[in-house]
Amino acid sequence: MMLLRIIVSFMKICLLAFGGAYSAVPLIAREVVDVQHWMTYAEFADLLALDELTPGPIMINCATFVGMKLAGIPGAIAASLGCCIPPAIICFVLDLIYRKYREVPVISVILQAMRCMSLALVLSTLISLTASIMFHGAGISFANLDILSVILAAATFILIRKEVADPIVVLLGSGAVSLLSWLLLGI
C-alpha cells in the first residue's frame, strides 16, 4: 500500500510540475511534508542539501531519496517511476501538439504565464525553506534567528554567484564550518 501511495504522490507532483525541476520542489515539499506528513520541513531541507551534492536531476534525486527513506529500494524505484511516467507521456503528446500549432500566438502567451507561475512556486519554497533553516522551524523572530545559518547562506550565495569557487567546494566548506561550530561551540 505504501508503494502505491508513493508512486501516486509522485505521479501527481509530476503532472503539476511545469517549469523545470526547481519549480517542482515546492510541490514535492507540499506533498511530502504537508499532505502526506512523511517528513518535516527540516528533514526536507536536509534532503535538498543531499540532493544538491549528488549528480543527476533534482526531481528524480529528491523522489529517490524520499522513496528510499519511506520504503527502501522498492520505495526509491516507485518514487522514481512516479516521476518519470507522467512527463514521458506528456512530453510525447505536447511534442505532437507543438509541432502542429507552434505558429499560433496564444501558445507563447500560455508559455509566458507558465513561466510566471513557476517563478511564484520557487519563491514560495524559498520562503518556507528560509524560515525552516534560519529559524529552525520556530517562530520567525530575531530571538530564534540562527546567525551561523545566515552567515553561511550569505557567504555561500556570494561565493557561488560571483563564481569565486566551485559550488561543490562551497557546499562542502559550509558543511565543514557547521560541523566545526557544532564540535567546538555546540551550535
Whether residue 59 is found in the same domain as residue 81: yes
Same domain, 78 and 152: no
Has residue 32 got a pLDDT over 90? yes
Same domain for 185 and 159, yes or no, is yes
Q: Let me know the angle formed at the C-alpha of 146 by 144 and 151, rounded to the nearest 5 degrees.
A: 150
Q: What is the pLDDT of residue 164?
A: 83
Same domain, 37 and 120: yes
Contacts of 10 (CB under 8 A, 6+ apart): 63, 67, 78, 79, 80, 81, 82, 83
Q: How many domains does the chain have?
A: 2
* Together in a domain, 97 and 158: no
The whole-number pLDDT of residue 108 equals 79
Q: Is-contact 50 43, C-beta < 8 A?
A: no
- Is the CB of residue 88 less than 8 Å from the CB of residue 96? no
Tell me the pLDDT tens digit for each residue of 103-132: 888 887 887 888 888 888 888 888 888 888
Say yes or no: 86 and 14 in one domain.
yes
| Per-residue confidence band for 19, with pLDDT thresholds at 50, 70 and 90 | low
pLDDT at 76: 95
In a shared domain, residues 45 and 104: yes
Whether the pLDDT of residue 21 is over 80: the answer is no
The reported pLDDT for the residue numbered 109 is: 86
33 plus 109 within the same structural domain: yes
Domain hosting residue 180, numbered range: 146-187
Last residue of a domain, one of 101, 121, 139: 139
Query: Does 57 share its domain with 77?
Result: yes
pLDDT digits (tens, 9 = 90+) for 70-115: 999 999 999 999 988 988 898 899 889 878 887 888 887 887 888 8
pTM: 0.57
Choose the weakest-confidence range: 5-9, 18-22, 38-42, 92-96.
Answer: 18-22
Asked if 89 and 181 sit in the same domain, the reply is: no
Which of 139, 156, 179 corresponds to the end of one domain? 139
107/161 same-domain check: no
Q: How confident is the model at residue 7 (pLDDT cuts 50, 70, 90)?
A: very high
Do residues 175 and 95 share a domain? no
Residue with cell 507543438: 98
Task: Output the pLDDT for position 54.
Answer: 81
Evaluate if residue 10 carries a pLDDT over 90. Answer: yes
